[in-house]
Structure 1
Amino acid sequence: MARPSKPLISRKAAVMASIEIIDSEGLDAFSLPRLAKHLGVRAPSLYHHFDDKNEILTEVARYIAGTAVRRPRMNPGPDWPEFFVALALNFRQSILRHRNAAPVLLQHLPRDLFTSTYEDTAQFLLDSGVPVDLHVRILDGMETLSIGAVLMEAMRPPRPKSAIFPNVSAESQPLLAQALSSNELTQRQLFEGIVRSFLHGIIRDHHLPAPDAEPAPAG
């Protein structure tokens, strides 16, 4: 389809409008005609900025999992794991704010989304005294852990502490039911604990200086 000679909307406006539609009406409601109506333009106007619907959804994923995630303001040092804990929690917060878009992230998340930030993060690790040979292990591990855990959480409805695992019967799964009733951690706290365990495992296994930091702030 031919592109209009002059754009009637901005690329950013189209992406933000797409997120609004998905958040409020669900992914199934999203289409180019629906987006055009939301923006008050005709559908061909969208082709000035995007080749097709898939490109729009890729930019939606890029915004939610990248642009909207706040980077912690921390100085390099022995408490470097707290930077990654805070970053992971901010990533989780951004994704869960847009639960309806979780399938978009699964299908359209750009593989190179985080590459542009990894140079600065590697410099942060280097300035914190973390050996270079551990940088890829930390960066790749955090990416895999955060994306996997958060998208799994986002794909299911919010649950209370006593229902982390669904459909547990005290009669047929008494030990698991007892474990759930004894659990005092929220989903956020469980996620934070997983991230800390990963980072402190690297510290322990490679005999790095142990950090002495306060827990990452909420959000």
Structure 2
Amino acid sequence: MARPSKPLISREAAVLASIEIIDTEGLEAFSLPKLAKHLGVRAPSLYHHFADKNEIFTEIARYIAGTTVATPRRRPGPDWPEFFVALCLNFRQSILRHRNAAPVLLQHMPRDLFVPTYEDTARFMLESGVPIELHVRILDGMETLAIGAVLMEAMRAPSTKSTIFPNVDAASQPILAEALASNELTQKKLFEETVRSFLHGVIRDHM
């Protein structure tokens, strides 16, 4: 399709409008004609900025999982794991703010999305006394843990402490039912403690 001679909208405006449509109407409702109508332009105007819908989805994933995630302000030191805990909680908050877009993130999140920030993060760990031979294990592990846990949570209905594992039958699964009844952690707190346990475990296993 031929591109119009002059762009009528910005790339960022199109991404933000796409997220708004997905947030309010659901992913199934999203289409390029609907996006164009939402922006008050004709569909060919979108081709100034995007080759196709997949490219829009990639930029949606980049925005939600990258641009909107706040980096914690923390000095290097012995409590360095708390930097990662705070960062992962910020990541979780950004994703869950746009639950309808979770399938987009699952399929279109760029593999190298976080790599540009890893040099600064590695420097932070080095200045905190974390052995450099553990950096890749920590960075890769945190990426895998955070993305996997948060996207899985985003694609499910919001849960309470008692429904973290849904449809548990006390008669046929009595131990699991008792464990759920004894659990005092919310989904957010479980995620936080899982991140913290992973980081302390890496250091403990290295000793």
Q: How does 1:46-125 map to 2 (within 5 A)?
A: 46-125=46-125
Q: How does 1:1-16 map to 2 (within 5 A)?
A: 1-16=1-16
SS in structure 1 of the partner of residue 41 of structure 2: coil
The residue correspondences of 1:1-219 to structure 2 (distance < 5 A) are 1-207=1-207
TM-score by length of structure 2 reads 0.98
Between the aligned partners of 2:77 and 2:7, the Cα distance in structure 1 is: 47
Aligned residue type for 1:193: E
2:126 alignment partner AA: L
Paired residue total: 207
* Aligned position for 1:211: none
Q: Please give the alpha-carbon distance, in whole angstroms, between the structure 2 residues aligned to 1:39 and 1:127.
A: 47
RMSD: 0.7
2:172 counterpart letter in structure 1: S
Instruction: State the Cα distance separating 1:104 from its structure 2 match.
Output: 0.2
Please give the per-residue CA displacement for 1:96-146, whole angstroms capped at 9, x wherever unaligned.
Answer: 000000000110000010011111111111111111111100100000000
CA distance in 1, matches of 2:4, 2:74: 46
Equivalent AA in structure 2 for residue 185 of structure 1: L
CA offsets 1:171-192 (integer angstroms, 9 cap, x no match): 1111111111111100000001
In the aligned structure 2, how far is the partner of 1:31 from the partner of 1:119?
37
Deviation at 1:160, TM superposition (A): 0.8
Distance 1:180 1:198 in 2: 22
CA distance in 1, matches of 2:27, 2:189: 29
C-alpha separation in 2, matches of 1:15 and 1:75: 34
How much does 1:152 deviate? 0.6
What runs of 5+ residues in structure 2 fail to find an aligned partner? none
Distance (Å, rounded) in 2 between the aligned partners of 1:73 and 1:104: 29
* Secondary structure, counterpart of 2:17 in structure 1: helix
Distance 2:131 2:33 in 1: 52
Task: Please give the alpha-carbon distance, in whole angstroms, between the structure 2 residues aligned to 1:134 and 1:182.
Answer: 35
CA distance in 1, matches of 2:62, 2:7: 22
Moved more, 144-153 or 197-206: 197-206
Deviant stretches of 4+, over 2 Å: none
Please give the per-residue CA displacement for 1:14-41, whole angstroms capped at 9, x wherever unaligned: 0000000000000000010010011010
CA distance in 1, matches of 2:66, 2:183: 32
**Counterpart of 2:160 in structure 1: which amino acid?**
P
Structure 1 portions without partners, runs of 5+: 208-219
CA distance in 2, matches of 1:14, 1:194: 36
Q: Return the offset for 1:65.
A: 0.5
